[in-house]
Amino acid sequence: MSVVIGLTGQSGAGKTLVSKIFEENGFGVINCDMAAREVTEAGSECNRELAKIFPECFDDDLVLDRRALGRIVFSDREKLDILNTVIFRYIDKLLDEKIAQYSIDYEYVVLDAPTLFEAGADKKCNVIVSVTADEEIRLKRITVRDGLDEASVRNRFASQHSQRFFEENSDFVIKNNGETEDAVEQTKEIIDKIKEGKIGSKNN
């Protein structure tokens, strides 16, 4: 079985960039956002279950309105927890299947997962890498990238773990406040350590 690296972090911190660097250096990358989309395809078993809880977010064909769901759960922590309880159950099984598939071709497999800890997927990982950045920097990045207003972005931040949480629960942390080149350099240093077997002990 491959060495599994959990890649997570704060919204707007730059995880997508880091994920791309891992991929360019020969790591197999599993996009857990795409896995979530797979389990919530129109008419899926997961959607049938979610439609009973969030009926306003589905049409008659059980197609999920992701924006409508996001507006609900990012402003209500209790409803977010309910959503996570349901959807992570389906994602967990799918990730096990994908890790086994990727392990055939890759020595190192990355779980690119914004909700790595919430899903319990950290338990599948040999090493965890988190990407963080200061809140105001992340706010600016997301408002530009997603076209959201400040209040919506801060609601999203409030539903996520703090920077301190990521620092305390990761083997490596990439602090991405500066130039892209700096994040690239930090990531490559971590890649070298992983390949040398210096992968930490959080989950071993």
List Cβ<8 Å contacts ≥24 apart for 193-198.
Answer: 194/3, 194/5, 194/108, 194/127, 195/108
Helix, strand, coil % in the chain, rounded to nearest 5: 55, 15, 30
Asked if residue 17 belongs to a known ligand binding site, the reply is: yes
Using CA atoms, how far apart are residues 179 and 33, in angstroms rounded to an integer?
Answer: 26
Q: 70 a known binding residue?
A: no
Q: Is 15 annotated as a binding residue?
A: yes
Question: What is the C-alpha to C-alpha distance for residues 137 and 44, in angstroms, rounded to an integer?
Answer: 37
Instruction: Name the nearest CA neighbour of 122 among 83, 159, 164, 170.
Output: 170
Q: Which two tokens stand for residue 146?
A: 């997603």
147 is in an annotated binding site: no
Q: Six-digit token pair at 32?
A: 């857990």
Annotated binding-site residue? 143: no
* Annotated binding residue 62: no
Distance CA 79, CA 103 (A): 35
Binding-site positions read 12-17
Binding-site positions for ATP read 12-17
